[in-house]
Structure 1
Amino acid sequence: MSVVAHRSAEEIGRTALGPRPLPPLGPTREVPLPDVVEHVLSTGLRVLAARRASVPMVELRLRVPYAARSPEDTAVAEVLSSTLLTGTATKDRVAIDDELATVGGELNVSVDPERLAVTGSALASGLTTLLDVLADVLTSATFADDEVARERTRLIERLAVALAQPRTIAREALQRKRFGDHPITREMPRPAEVETVTAEQVRALHAVSTVPRGSILTLVGDIDPDTAIAEVERALGGWSSERTARELTPPPAPKPDDLELVHRPGSVQSQLRLSAPALTRHDPDYSTLQLANLVFGGYFSSRWMENVREDKGYTYGAHSGIEQVPGGAVLSVETDVASDVTAAALLETRYELARMVAVPPTAAELESARAYAIGSLAISLDNQGGLAGTLTGLAADGLGVDWLRERPARLSAVTVDEVAEIALRFFTPTAFTGVVVGDAEVIGTRVRALGGVS
């Protein structure tokens, strides 16, 4: 038997005449988007249903606006999300899990400053069961004292671990820097706050906040949309309230300011987090800004990534992106680096921001970013779950499936001159604020010497 010698990737990529040329990118495959049937129940629940019969499943997304009415609500809401599926008036948590298992289903609950989200899936033939379980927990969750106590203990342990993580510390510092004391910054309660939450508080918050009016339920899968909406009306018709779900008020736009040096004693890494105002999806220049962001730092082949990872080796990853917030949007720039190169990484970050202003993207850079944007959009919508999540987010923002259908055309129409103009508007280094988290005794002198850090 002959033995094939191992060849390295470099050897495979070369011939006697030189490197093998990369094949050109083929045309982007269009992802056909289904029609979305929409109906508002008499209870105020907005229902979206779309047929995507790629697999015999159905994806469910429920979004309930859940803005806290007080700082204490953040801790109570976190306990509520952990205990919503632990029992109802007729079923305990085991019975709920067993009923979902009969249809290959699952439900999960999460909460943040904007919303309570229930996500789930099941065999398409089990949609009735999935909706019945959802209705049961929405209308008759008991939040038993022992279940609340058990989940509260687990939650305290998870929070203690999460709050010690460098990325969490950096995120919280950035949120405070750009949004002050606005409720959007209350992403994670303190363990001490959770420890005092009672089952009675959880039941009270559930009664006043988990309501259908203003909420959105999205179903995507191997379903008939009209039949699915009728099933929702049957199952969830009893979920009612005179109240309207509470939307989070818009936070203030971040203002240009010095970066804040946040001391984390003993840290061997630093977190750089910069932010500035951006454009919402409603803005006609949103696609242009998205492409400018990709050229700067939005994907692996971006300028910033090439600089601080591929050329300098300062980091494993650097990323920038447009983050939608109530009533607006922000541009976020983030990377983690070793302490001894913190100042150098910050210098290169500012350099790349300035280069976006001074040296407009080339046609090749724009085309690469455009191909990535259109291709990644197609991939994200090519499955039931991705489409369901996107439709829900767009609906909450007052947009629909037509906005998605028009995205490739809008991205394709953006010119180099338009990207250069928007880079001048949004990537000026002095437009940013943010934080540098690390051991100030190690990084402070060099970082402050760059200026613009306090």
Structure 2
Amino acid sequence: MTAATHRSAGEIGRTERGPRPVPGLGEQRAAADLAHTDTVLANGLRVLAVRKANVPMVEARLAIPFAADDPMHPATAEVLAETIATGTARRDRVAIDTELALIGGDLGTAVDPEHLTLSGGALASGLPTLLDVLADVLTAATHADNEVARERARIVERLAVARTQPRVIAREALQRRRYGDHPYTREVPQPGDVERVGPEAVRALHASAVLPGGAVLVLVGDLDPDAAVGDVERALGEWRSDRRATEMPELPDLAAGDLLLVPRAGAVQSQLRLSAQALPRTDPRYPALQLANLAFGGYFSSRLVENIREDKGYTYGAQSGFEFTGNKATLQVEADTASEVTAAALLETRYELGRLGLVPPTAEEVESVRQYAIGSLLIGASSQAGLASQLTALATVGLGVDWLAGHPERVAAVTAEQVAEAALEFFAPSRFTGVVVGDADTLARPLTALGGVSIGEPGAAGS
């Protein structure tokens, strides 16, 4: 029995007669050619109901703008999210869980600096019940003292572990490097702040911030869109306020600059995080930039992965992608490497950034990433849950089904020349800033020699 030999992505893509031919694009289907209703109710809630009847289920996503300047807001919001569905004036935790179980449903919550999100699903026939439970927790959640105490203890324990994780440390360092003390950087609360959160503060935040004005509810499933909107009006029509939910203040454009070495004593791995200003989805150049990103590091056969993973073996995984925040967008480049090859990995990453603009993707590369982009979009929208999540991300920035349905055609129309222009403009190494988190004793000298890296203060990465 002979041992299997490792083949690179380039070798896999070739035969003895040359490169494997990339099949031509077939006729493009709309990603979401679906019956839908998109309207704003009298209370300011936008409702997007979409019929996708492949299974007799309904998916619901409610995103409420949930920003604030108060330094204690992230901690209080975290406790609120964990206790909002633990009891109301007419249902305790068991009653909520039982009623949802009877309709094959569930309800989950999450919070970040931009939104409080409630996500659920149920049998299509149970939609009125799901909406009734949702209305109950939105308007009458009690955040009982014992529930707050129990969930607060769980959150503190979870955060204590999370704040030791390299990826969390790197994300927090990158956020501070990019945006200073902007509220958007407060993604992971401090455990000590959570310990100080009391039931009164949670109930006060609910009353002042869980508001319909500016919120978006997306429903996707085996439903009649107009009838579903009527169900929402009946269930949530009394959820009202004379104020709107609080939107996140607009982020500043990123300024290019040195990477910051954030010391993490004794670390055997380093986290590379680079970021630059990009384009929102509504910009006409976005499809070309999307394809340029895929060619650089957006999927497994990209140039960055081929270089620092397949060829050099510096990392198990490297990737690049977009982060959309309000009406702004940024590019992120990420890789985790062993300490001894961190400087070399950064050198190769910068090399690939520059090469993308100076030696732009070939027509074959463009065709490959085009198929990947369109195929991924269609696959992501093929399930009710996937479509609901995609539409929620779009709806929070004012887009909807029409944008999603038209995007495959926009991607199909991008030329190799347009991808080359986007690569040269947006992937220049000089446009990026970011952080390297790792052991300063090992990294400081080679990174300083490489240039474009400044040294942070010890302890900046947290413990």
Alignment TM class, shorter chain as reference = over 0.9
Q: Aligned-pair distance for 1:26?
A: 6.5
Query: 2:344 maps to what in 1?
Result: 344
Deviation at 1:33, TM superposition (A): 2.2
The DSSP-based 3-state class of the residue aligned with 1:437 is: strand
Aligned to 1:353: 353
Matched, 1:35 2:35: yes
Answering whether residue 120 of structure 2 is matched by residue 120 of structure 1, we say yes
Q: Which amino acid aligns with 1:376?
A: S
Contact 2:32–2:381 (8 Å) recurs in 1: no
- Whether 2:249 is the aligned partner of 1:249: answer yes
Match of 1:378 in 2: 378
Match of 1:110, SS? strand
Could you list the runs of 5+ residues in structure 2 that have no partner in the other structure? 455-463
Deviation, structure 1 residue 392: 1.7
Residue type matched to 2:300 in 1? Answer: F
Q: CA deviation at 1:254?
A: 1.3
Q: Which moved more, 1:165-174 or 1:32-41?
A: 32-41
Query: CA RMSD for the aligned pairs?
Result: 2.1
Query: Is the contact between residue 178 and residue 253 of structure 1 (CA under 8 Å) also seen in structure 2?
Result: no
Match of 1:225 in 2: 225
Following the alignment from structure 1 to structure 2, what is the Cα–Cα distance between the partners of residues 7 and 264?
40
* Correspondence 1:170-189 to 2 at 5 A: 170-189=170-189
Matched, 1:166 2:149: no
Matched, 1:318 2:326: no
| CA distance in 1 between partners of 2:88 and 2:125 (Å) | 24
Q: In the aligned structure 1, how far is the partner of 2:404 from the partner of 2:32?
A: 10
Match of 1:210 in 2: 210
What is the deviation of 1:226?
Answer: 1.1
3-state SS of the aligned residue for 1:71?
coil
* Contact kept in structure 1, 2:32 and 2:404, CA below 8 Å: no
Q: Tell me by how many angstroms 1:413 deviates.
A: 1.3
- On the 8 A contact 2:22/2:368 being kept in 1, the answer is no
**Structure 1 pair 353/22, CA: closer, same or farther in 2 (3 Å)?**
closer
Q: Distance in 1 between matches of 2:201 and 2:340?
A: 48
Q: Deviations over 1:96-139 (max 9, x none)?
A: 10000000000000000000000000000110111111011111
Q: Aligned partners of 1:140 and 1:446: how far apart in 2?
A: 58
1:102–1:279 CA distance, 2 compared to 1 (3 A): same
Matches within 5 A, 1:11-410: 25=23, 27=25, 30=29, 31-410=31-410
Write the deviation string for residues 156-181 of structure 1: whole angstroms up to 9, x where unpaired.
00001111100000000001111111
For the residue of structure 2 that corresponds to 1:187, the secondary structure is coil
Change (3 A) 1:366 1:24: closer
C-alpha deviation, 1:430, in angstroms: 1.0
CA contact (8 A) 2:108 2:119 kept: yes
Offset at 1:405?
1.7
Rate the CA distance shift 1:450–1:400 in 2: closer, same or farther, 3 A.
Answer: same
What do the CA deviations read for 1:6-53 (whole angstroms, capped 9, x no partner)? Answer: 996999x99xx9699968537557345213202222111111101100
Structure 1 range deviating more: 399-408 or 31-40: 31-40
Cα distance in structure 1, aligned partners of 2:333 and 2:18: 35
SS of 1:219's partner is strand
- Measured after TM superposition, the shift of residue 352 of structure 1 is 0.3
1:53-87 Cα deviation digits (max 9, x unpaired): 00010000001000014111111001000101111
Q: CA shift at 1:357, angstroms?
A: 1.7
Aligned residue identity for 1:447 = L
Distance in 2 (CA, whole Å) between partners of 1:203 and 1:370 is 49
Residues in 2 aligned to 1:23 and 1:325: alpha-carbon distance in whole angstroms: 38
Partner in structure 1 of residue 461 of structure 2: none
Q: Would the aligned equivalents of 1:179 and 1:253 in 2 still touch at CA under 8 Å?
A: no
Q: Hey, what's the Cα distance between the residues in 1 that align with 2:90 and 2:315?
A: 53
1:190 to 1:7, Cα distance in 2 relative to 1, 3 A: closer
Letter in 2 for 1:437: V
**Normalization by structure 2: what TM-score?**
0.93
Q: Report the Cα distance in structure 2 between the residues aligned to 1:350 and 1:10, rounded to whole angstroms.
A: 26
> Which portions of structure 1, spanning 4 or more consecutive aligned residues, are displaced by more than 6 angstroms?
5-11, 17-21
Number of residue-to-residue matches in the alignment: 447
CA contact (8 A) 2:297 2:305 kept: yes
Rounded to whole Å, the distance in 2 between the matches of 1:91 and 1:67 is: 28
